Amino acid sequence: MAFAHGKILLLGEHAVVYGRPALAAGLDRGMTASVVDGGGARLQIPAWGVDVSPADSSAVARAFAALLGALPGELGGPTVRVEPGIPGGAGLGSSAALAVATARALAAHAGFDLDDDALFDAAMAAERVFHGNPSGLDHAAAMHGGLLRYVRGMPPSLTPVVANTPLSLVVAQVAPGADTGAMVGGVAERRARLPVAIEAALDAIAALVDRAQHAVEVGDVVSLGEAMTVNHGLLAALGVSTPALDAACHAARAAGALGAKLTGAGGGGCVVALVDDASADPVVSALAESGGMVLRASVG
């Protein structure tokens, strides 16, 4: 049995694709995978109605096949059963957590060591099926948990961030998630048409990540919340927010949140709000009106 963390992005989505830093937090919820002997090589997620073999044509099956092909050991043909603790397609890193938990379970079952580099590469192979050009951030957070500063590269730069005080967050699913690859592709198209403006927005997001990291390290939650809110505005300018996401962020701030933004690729999915003791319950109530999942998390 193996576990991998779900994730939220506090700041930096989309900019991270272009070499800028991002600040992520691994959740205490994620994916748990176990290997069931017999039945041949299959991936089963009963809660989602998924039961595929690597020879099938669905995206999940092709990602499973890519993962199997990228793992360095001899696997045989085990069936992997996964229990999700986060919703799929909501911007919480479910596909990365699925890949990491599955790879860990397979390696443990087969009895070979899987170091971080091999695990990262295997998860990246699966993520490319789902997302085309993933940054690697989601599966880095799935692997390690905690607060992380991530910069894409070969190899990627992954730096733990130590919070001066735990961060209290409210995460709410506002709408079904959009296709991450399509959202990343949309930003790429805008960048090609408007290179100066989009590069300036990406640089501004990077500056906010630096400010937010410092705020986390010194315990300045007011500055962190402000950076999150401005980051949401820049993501809206990149074309990845929606009226529902904008409205949820506004509702969270009106209820007392220190800051709020979409988290993940956008186009739907989740928002994350930074709260304190006084605002936590009102923000939960305000975001619950969207009708989706609402959860509280403490990070750091």
Report pLDDT for 39.
67
Tell me the pLDDT tens digit for each residue of 284-295.
999 998 777 898
| Location of each CATH 3.30.70.890 domain in the chain | 167-299
As given in the structure block, the two tokens for residue 193 are: 């048409």
- pTM for the whole structure: 0.81
**Rounded distance, CA 142 to CA 153, Å?**
18
Active site residue 138: yes
Report pLDDT for 89.
75
Report pLDDT for 210.
97
Confidence of residue 110 (pLDDT cuts 50, 70, 90): confident
Tell me the pLDDT tens digit for each residue of 214-245.
999 999 999 999 999 999 999 999 999 999 99
- Inform me whether the pLDDT recorded for 268 exceeds 70: yes
CATH of domain 2-160: 3.30.230.10
What is the phi-psi region of residue 57: left when phi exceeds 0, alpha when psi lies from -120 to 50, beta otherwise?
alpha
| Location of each CATH 3.30.230.10 domain in the chain | 2-160
Report pLDDT for 120.
85
**Rounded distance, CA 231 to CA 46, Å?**
37
Handedness of CA 195, 201, 248, 171 (dihedral sign): positive
- Inform me whether the pLDDT recorded for 129 exceeds 90: no
Query: In Å, how far are 46, 49, 62, 211 from 80, measured between CA atoms?
Result: 11, 14, 15, 42
Task: Report the 3 state secondary structure along 249-274.
Answer: HHHHHHCCCCEEEEECCCCCEEEEEE
**Rounded distance, CA 122 to CA 97, Å?**
12
Low-confidence winner among 10-14, 75-79, 171-175, 227-231 (lowest mean pLDDT)? 75-79
Report pLDDT for 38.
65
Mean pLDDT throughout 62-68? Answer: 88
The amino acid present at 45, given as its one-letter code, is I
Point out the catalytic residue in the list 28, 56, 138, 210.
138
For residue 73, with 0-12 CB atoms within 10 Å meaning exposed, 13-18 middle and 19 or more buried, which class applies? middle
Q: Cα 137 vs. chain centroid, distance in angstroms? A: 7
- Inform me whether the pLDDT recorded for 128 exceeds 90: no
- Inform me whether the pLDDT recorded for 273 exceeds 90: yes
Q: Look at 52 and 260; give whichever has higher pLDDT.
A: 260
Answer yes or no: are the C-beta atoms of 271 and 245 closer than 8 Å. yes
For residue 49, with 0-12 CB atoms within 10 Å meaning exposed, 13-18 middle and 19 or more buried, which class applies? exposed
Task: Assign domain 167-299 to its CATH architecture.
Answer: 2-Layer Sandwich (3.30)
Mean pLDDT throughout 86-101? Answer: 85
Q: Which SS3 state, helix, strand or coil, does residue 191 take?
A: helix
At residue 63, what are phi and psi to the nearest 5 degrees? -65, -40
Report pLDDT for 178.
81
DSSP alpha helix (H) spans, the chain = 59-70, 94-110, 116-131, 137-144, 180-193, 195-218, 221-237, 243-254, 280-288
Tell me the pLDDT tens digit for each residue of 174-214.
888 788 888 989 999 999 999 999 999 999 999 999 999 99
Tell me the pLDDT tens digit for each residue of 22-45.
999 988 888 999 998 766 788 899
**Rounded distance, CA 74 to CA 57, Å?**
23
